[in-house]
Structure 1
Amino acid sequence: MAKEISTPTPVPDTAWLARGRHVGPEPEQDVRRNLIALKAAGVLDDFLDLDPVEAARSTPLHPRDESADPGPAARRVFEARWRVGGDVTVRAQLTTYDGESRRKGKDGDGVDWVLAAEAEQVWDGYWPSPALMFWPDSDRVAWDQDVVEGVRLRTANQLPKDDDELRRRLRECARQSWFLHVVVHEAMTPDALGQRPASAFLPPSLRHRVVEHRATPEQAQIADFALKRELKVRLPRGGGVVVPTEMWGRDADAEQFTVRSVFLDGSTPTELLDRIKEFAALPQILSADAEKALARLRGGWHLLTPDEELAHARIMVTRYAEALDAMTVSRDRYREAAEAAHAALAEVHGGDGVPRPPVSGAAKGDGSPLTAFTKMFGRFRDPGQGPQGQ
């Protein structure tokens, strides 16, 4: 029998997904301040700050998916709504979680976060980044740590000096990260302009989905060997490569996304940027965790517009009316059964409260009081047990 192979589910082209870690002292306060400022500036239509228990108990507009609950490790749930391209509405949900160490009662490792956003049409990379709707656009707020330790957005991450550590980092990035990863080899040590990451030149919505790694001039061979061994791609001297991961381009043609020369002099690395954009346009695989994040956004949405609130009220009125009708029908059936039982008892007692002796076998028929009484209560008797006395 041939083994059935399931096709991976792609991320919808209307969605924007990210997962990272905040390593500062007050992550939720950083989010609140940014949301308040953006709403005051008219960037956001509205936002909502929910306790996870409140978010799980409240009733959303659409039927709730079982995976829509944020889970026991959740700290806060934030929702925000804004418009792009004139009248295209974007809905986004940011959930913060205690890191593994915090859940075990230990210090450190920051607060994890998951961000899911969805637009009413295909996502445009030149729209504002959803990350900056929740997190402040400041280097002083360390919200941009990847879940892989030692890896950040918005900067060029130097690969570890130790060979085993280098391979471990590449392997973990490929398996755990939701971001797109690029590795660049420095042909010579760059100056301050050359240290600027390539992601700084990308369109806004793509900028916070790309992590850049740098190999020093002396790491050319070890970085190339590690990439070949772990990810089946090659790193040219002085060049760069977009690497495949579990969520991004797992079956991509490595040669197509390899750049032979990347000039780190502060100029725009046009060829590398083109390869990154092409790679980002590939179908992104919807992992189990990403699917849950999207389900929470769709099935656990609470920040309603006035029209949605009206639709929600109508839905609730309909549900209550249906429940009331069901209760009324149940009550009427119970009353009818009770009245029939009283009538049967009255017939057995002859209407005067005095029991009548059983009718002889010749006179007993289907219309006798005893038969009527027996039929009325027959449903409460074991269907496999015959009448008493047989």
Structure 2
Amino acid sequence: MAKSSSSSITVPRSAWLGRGRHLGPEAELDVRRNLLALKTARVIDDFLELDPIEAARSTDLFPRDESADPGPSARRLFEARWRVTGNVTVRAQLTTYEPESRRTDNESEVVWVLAAEAERAWEASWPSPATVFWPDSDRVAWDHDTVPGVRLRTTNYLPKDDGELRRLLRDCARQSWFIHVVVHEAMTPDALGRRPVTAFLPPSLKHRVIEHRATPEQALIADFAMKRELGVGLPRGGAVVLPPTPQSPDYAAERFTVGDVFLDGTEPTELLNKITEFASLPQPLQADAEQALTRLRQGWHLLTPDEELVHARAMVTRYAEALKAMTSSCDLYREAAESAHAALAEATSGSSTPRTPAPAASEEDASPLKTLTKTLSFFRRPDR
């Protein structure tokens, strides 16, 4: 897989994108089981599993270019289709990959990329595409970010070491596809307060946000590191939504900072509103995320019967137009060839060798006797 790089393009309003790591055994089996269960329960309309090579193959009926190829490290490709809010169709692809390097001792680690797109602007209240493919269970470790040591669906405590903390902030800003929030604990919370704030978010937003926690004694070091690396501060007992990379012109630190967050198990309404507002801003579309979205659009396989019929008709029309253009080109070529042959025949007077115009001759040279003498001398030359 290609490493992330920034792009001037923003994520379409209709798209949901995610990338993470599955650390448990048999990642594809977990996906397969979940899709089958949801189809049986009629939560999704249908799903499909493909070999990556087969998924990228181009045929006469389904021509595909290199944008449909998930790359040499791809393991499996899954597609699913479901409906939300009545008849709004969502199409999604999840591709599993071998990791680029073994950053952990877990030999079963698998990287996954998920791209989903709806027929209109995405709503946070819709089901999360992540839990269409992955079971929403703590027993399945699919929710690790590509940044080591960071997970969805839980609170991630910041490193104690200043260097490790700053490195983590840089990696989250540059590599992660998720929204990151840092919350400072003014005092050590009880069990209810240790529950992740992200649990209160609506379904589709819940799996786009990663929560970091700073312990009470980390107030100064976390605030300093965040100002140094990202240009935002962390209020004591408050929270801040970290800026994207590259930073959006719509982002302002004070706009997405909350002065007080009560970690007592109640819903932190102000912080949730800040996260929701941030998620509604145009988000930069990283290069590999753009590739995943292109594969979803250009390399889609799970067509309905009606869509297959429309596609077949479109291909028939396309080939008919191509045949018409080719026939027209052949006619033009034949006319040009006939004109060329006619011109050649005229130039050669029927012989195969073009005639060379003779220079103007004097009256003496033009006499029959002089011409005959020159011709005989030609045949008498010893070198002939």
Q: Shorter-chain TM-score: which interval?
A: 0.7 to 0.9
Which stretch of the first structure deviates more once superposed, 45-54 or 66-75? 66-75
* Structural mapping, 1:71-150, within 5 Å: 71-101=71-101, 108=107, 110-150=109-149
Supply the distance in 2 between the matched residues of 1:310 and 1:233 (Cα, whole angstroms): 54
Provide the secondary structure at the position in 2 that maps to 1:83: strand
Structure 1 position 300, deviation (Å): 0.6
The residue type equivalent to 2:121 in the other structure is V
- Contact 1:247–1:286 (Cα < 8 Å) also in 2: no
Structure 1 position 110, deviation (Å): 1.5
Supply the distance in 1 between the matched residues of 2:287 and 2:60 (Cα, whole angstroms): 22
Structure 1 position 80, deviation (Å): 0.5
Q: Which residue of 1 aligns with 2:373?
A: none
Structure 1 position 335, deviation (Å): 10
Pair 1:369-2:350 in alignment: yes
Supply the distance in 2 between the matched residues of 1:37 and 1:282 (Cα, whole angstroms): 35
Which stretch of the first structure deviates more once superposed, 327-336 or 212-221? 327-336
The residue type equivalent to 1:88 in the other structure is V
Structure 1 position 198, deviation (Å): 1.1
Q: Which residue of 2 aligns with 1:70?
A: 70
Supply the distance in 1 between the matched residues of 2:60 and 2:70 (Cα, whole angstroms): 14
* Structural mapping, 1:312-351, within 5 Å: 312-321=311-320
Unaligned runs of 5+ in 1: 1-5, 341-346, 348-364, 376-385
- TM-score (norm. length: structure 1): 0.81
Provide the secondary structure at the position in 2 that maps to 1:157: strand
Supply the distance in 1 between the matched residues of 2:228 and 2:338 (Cα, whole angstroms): 82
Provide the secondary structure at the position in 2 that maps to 1:244: coil
Deviations 1:271-320 (A, max 9, x none): 11011111111111111111111101101111111111001222333445
Supply the distance in 2 between the matched residues of 1:211 and 1:60 (Cα, whole angstroms): 44
Supply the distance in 1 between the matched residues of 2:326 and 2:248 (Cα, whole angstroms): 55
The residue type equivalent to 1:8 in the other structure is S
Between the aligned residues of both structures, percent identity stands at: 71
Structure 1 position 166, deviation (Å): 0.9
Structure 1 position 101, deviation (Å): 2.3
Provide the secondary structure at the position in 2 that maps to 1:20: strand
Unaligned runs of 5+ in 2: 1-5, 340-344, 360-384
* Structural mapping, 1:269-280, within 5 Å: 269-280=268-279
Structure 1 position 368, deviation (Å): 3.5
- Contact 2:250–2:281 (Cα < 8 Å) also in 1: no
Supply the distance in 2 between the matched residues of 1:337 and 1:86 (Cα, whole angstroms): 60
The residue type equivalent to 1:218 in the other structure is E
The residue type equivalent to 2:86 in the other structure is G
- TM-score (norm. length: structure 2): 0.82
* Bigger Rg over Cα: 2
Pair 1:294-2:293 in alignment: yes
Pairwise CA RMSD: 3.3
Q: Which residue of 2 aligns with 1:231?
A: 230
Provide the secondary structure at the position in 2 that maps to 1:101: coil
When residues 176 and 367 of structure 1 are mapped into structure 2, their CA distance, relative to the original with a 3 A threshold, is closer
- Contact 1:94–1:114 (Cα < 8 Å) also in 2: yes
Structure 1 position 369, deviation (Å): 2.7
Provide the secondary structure at the position in 1 that maps to 2:193: helix
- Contact 2:67–2:299 (Cα < 8 Å) also in 1: no
The residue type equivalent to 1:266 in the other structure is G
Structure 1 position 65, deviation (Å): 5.3
The residue type equivalent to 2:257 in the other structure is T
